[in-house]
Amino acid sequence: QVQLVESGGGLVQPGGSLKLSCADSGFGFGNFALAWYRQISGKEREQVACISDGGGATYYTHSVKGRFTISRDDAKMTLYLQMDSLKPEDTAVYFCARASWVSFLGGKLECRASDGDFLGQGTQVTVSS
């Protein structure tokens, strides 16, 4: 049974940095594309970034491009999200997920996780002065 444990969130001032981790305990971690999502209370979950199996391709939503970096360590079965130049609008609960849908149309990576792919509690990131 897959379990995902997100960690690394906290309170940080605007312009600061945090590094999130997602520890996966299930079989076949290295065979999946992985994604970070975030959710503000009362709003839809938003995809932040995605990384292909093997780590050779990544996707970022426009609002975090150039500030966030997604990476993975398959030996440690861990997904990471380095967040720099944080803004108040980055405040949310961050979740990781194994992607159940992946596309490489036109050389661009896209991935999607469905509701059943979110198996962790998330980690709260608050950006405030």
Query: How far is residue 89's CA from residue 72's CA, in Å, rounded to a whole number?
Result: 25
74-129 pLDDT, tens digit per residue, is 999 999 999 999 999 999 999 999 999 999 988 899 999 988 888 899 999 999 99
Looking at residue 97, its pLDDT comes to 96
On average, the pLDDT of the chain sits at 95
- State mean pLDDT over 59-87: 97
Residue 51: how many other CB atoms lie within 10 Å: 26
- State mean pLDDT over 15-22: 98
Query: How far is residue 2's CA from residue 18's CA, in Å, rounded to a whole number?
Result: 25
Looking at residue 32, its pLDDT comes to 93
